[in-house]
Amino acid sequence: MADAVKISVLVCTYNRAARIGATIESLVTQALPGSPGWEILIVDNNSLDNTRQVLEDFQRRYPGLIRYFLEKQQGISHARNAAIRQARGEILAFIDDDETAEPGWLENLTAALHNGEWAGAGGRVLTPPDFSPPQWLSLKSWFVSGPLASFDRGMNPGQLDDPPFGANMAFRREVFDRCGLFRTDLGRSGKNLISNEDTEFGRRLFAAGLKLRYEPASVTYHPVEENRLRRSYFLHWWFNKGRSDIRELGNPPGTRRLFGIPLGLFRAVAWSAARWMVSVSESQRFSYKVETWNCVGQLAESYLQARRRT
């Protein structure tokens, strides 16, 4: 491996001792043309299981390639920001600690980022090939991609119009110097499902006039754990997505409010709840129920923010 590190692969982990081994095995076999120097940087975000022992074993097996350190400040954004500060590469690639990467993932994801035309790139995040959803869940439904962490914009590469997901994305280091790091009031921390830290960062880059590329040949597989296939998980996820959206974007100024909550949110909750109650189709009923939970999450976060201001 060359001395100068060109690419850093950043993996933030929390209590994934049973899964992170498969992630690392899919990374160490990645090949890059011209053999540029690269590294795998793993951040342990206060894991309570035997993650440290697993990672130290991998360090011994792959000396010089894998680095490991502990970030005590809890939360995915804190862990990612710490990894960015520690990384040596000019290009920083991100993958989740329970994913596996296809051969060629890293090469395809970073190929267009060397000349400065593109600020970053995102690839496809797919469910495992053997995944079979329950009858009540359609993979074509609008509310599925977030809870299952799937991102697929088809097979044609080109410019992205929406931000990539943190499970498969890469950026030039200079982008963080220019636009800042991930917002630490967003992103998962422990068991909470507050999100948007990755998409908020992408929207910040768009606002700065930077271009992000879509690389469909860069593929990772995100497992679907049993708990994610419960209706309660989808409802909990979308409730927190509503909270995350308000936390990120706030409410439009000048709107009439009650207890700090825009009146339009009360109408949105009532309208989506009414459609949930009267729908005959099971899948449609659940879709409207998810929409209702999302609106209630927005309402709850609006109220909490108003309380904090006073």
280: Cβ–Cβ under 8 A, 6 or more apart, which residues?
A: none
Q: Give the per-residue pLDDT at 2.
A: 45
Please report, in tens digits, the pLDDT of each residue of the chain (310 residues total). 446 899 999 999 999 999 999 999 999 999 888 767 999 999 999 999 999 999 999 999 999 999 999 999 999 999 999 999 999 999 999 999 999 999 999 999 999 999 989 999 999 999 999 999 888 888 888 899 999 999 999 999 999 999 999 999 999 999 999 999 999 999 999 888 999 999 999 999 999 999 999 999 999 999 999 999 999 999 999 999 999 999 999 987 778 888 889 999 999 999 999 999 998 888 889 999 999 999 999 999 999 998 888 7
225, 255, 289 — which closes off a domain? 225
Q: Which two tokens stand for residue 308?
A: 């904090």
Cβ pair 219, 276 in contact under 8 A: no
What's the pLDDT tens digit per position in 160-197? 999 999 999 999 999 999 999 999 999 999 888 999 99
Residue where a domain terminates, one of 203, 225, 247: 225
Write out the residue range of the structural domain in which residue 113 sits.
Answer: 5-225
Query: In a 3-state reduction of DSSP, which class is residue 49?
Result: coil
Whether residues 200 and 264 share a domain: the answer is: no
So what's the pLDDT on residue 3? 60
Torsion angles phi and psi, residue 53, rounded to 5: -65, -40
Alpha helices (H) in the chain, listed in sequence order:
20-28, 51-61, 76-86, 105-110, 173-179, 197-207, 231-249, 263-278, 282-309
Contact 262, 306 (CB under 8 A): no
- Integer CA distances (angstroms), 62 to 1, 36, 57, 299, 302, in order: 12, 17, 9, 49, 48
Same structural domain, 70 and 99: yes
Are 159 and 37 found together in one domain? yes
Whether 209 and 248 share a structural domain: no
Condensed to tens digits (0 to 9), the pLDDT of residues 236-287 reads 999 999 999 999 999 877 788 888 899 999 999 999 999 999 988 888 899 9
190 & 245 share domain? no
Dihedral (Cα; 191, 123, 146, 87), 10-degree rounding: 20
Are residues 198 and 87 part of one domain? Answer: yes
* Of 225, 257, 286, the domain-final residue: 225
Q: Same structural domain for residues 301 and 208?
A: no
Number of domains in the chain: 2
Report the alpha-carbon distance of residue 240 to residue 244 in Å, rounded: 6
Q: Are residue 118 and residue 139 in the same domain, yes or no?
A: yes
DSSP letters along 92-160, please? EEEE-TT-EE-TTHHHHHHGGGSSSS-SEEEEEEE--TT----TT--TTSTTSTTTTT-B---S--EE-
DSSP string for 170-188: EEEHHHHHHH----TTSS-
For residue 216, the SS3 value is strand
Cα 138 to the chain's mean position, in Å? Answer: 21
Task: For residue 67, give every residue at least 6 positions away whose Cβ sits within 8 Å of its Cβ, in sequence order, or none.
Answer: 39, 40, 41, 42, 59, 86
Same domain as 104, residue 173? yes
- Tell me how far apart the alpha carbons of residues 236 and 239 are, in angstroms, rounded to a whole number: 5
